[in-house]
Amino acid sequence: LSVLQFPVVSRGCDVTDILFRLVGVGCGMVTQSIYAPPRERLTGAAFEHRRRTLAGIGCAATFVYIVYTGIVPFTFAYPKGGVWGPLTATEFLPFMAYFVTRFDLMMTDVMEKFASYAVLAALLATCWTRLTGLDMWPRLIRVMTVCIAISSLIECVQMFIPIRVVSLTDPILAAAGCVVGVIVQERAVRFYRFSVAEEVLGPDHRPATPEQMRGLTI
């Protein structure tokens, strides 16, 4: 990726990107070794406890990242036109602010917000113990409510940051990311249980019905 940025006018090959990518690979390998050591096969309660513990840590880290990218720097000021001004601006409508933004910045912003909320939703669905006994769609509604509330709260704070734009885009991206995150988390957990038990298990940990087996094929 760094080499391919040479012919791109608005990009540059930077050692910083390479270092961050190497650090990311290292963190992933360390996390994997903690999560599932190569000589240890976690099953049952031990696996569930470790999975929820690591998911809780990742959920907190993702939440801090979303808040950091949403309200930093802390240059607060009273919005022009009061609160009603930003809410009636053209940029408040979904995706309207992107029409005055460079294409690469627009795509970066969309992918970053979508991916961060997808990761947050997947981790939240994993570590939220009260949701484990629910089906996927009730779980999705609760996780989506939390993520949309976080996104809306950040938008309210951005109203008082001069360099930020208040928009409905972020809650929409948060909702879309939640759908993908929760569905992927559901499939991943079911596939792991299938690989361990060598049979397809439904949400109630019993052998799955043919309808549930068809849902696993994704």
**Residue 8 amino acid letter:** V
Indicate the DSSP class of residue 111. Answer: H
| Averaged pLDDT for residues 110-116 | 94
| Averaged pLDDT for residues 172-178 | 95
**Whether residue 203 has pLDDT greater than 70:** no
Q: What pTM did the predictor assign?
A: 0.72
Q: Which residues of 155-171 are buried (b: 16+ CB within 10 A; e: fewer)?
A: beebbbbeebbbbbbbb
Handedness of CA 56, 59, 61, 67 (dihedral sign): negative
> Are the C-beta atoms of residues 131 and 143 closer than 8 Å to each other?
yes
Between CA 127 and CA 136, with CA 35 as vertex, the angle to 5 degrees is: 35
pLDDT at 112: 94
**Residue 60 amino acid letter:** A
Residue 52 has a CB neighbour count (10 Å cut-off) of 17
**Residue 65 amino acid letter:** Y
For residues 216 and 213, give the distance between their C-alpha atoms in angstroms, rounded to a whole number: 5
Q: What is the pLDDT of residues 61-109, one digit of tens each?
A: 999 999 988 888 777 777 777 778 888 888 888 888 888 888 888 999 9
> Are the C-beta atoms of residues 5 and 13 closer than 8 Å to each other?
yes
**Residue 181 amino acid letter:** G
Provide, rounded to the nearest whole percent, the portion of the chain with pLDDT above 90.
28
Q: What is the pLDDT of residues 131-155, one digit of tens each?
A: 877 888 899 999 999 999 999 999 9
Q: What is the pLDDT of residues 8-21, one digit of tens each?
A: 887 777 888 889 98
Of the listed ranges 47-51, 142-146, 163-167, the one predicted with least confidence = 47-51
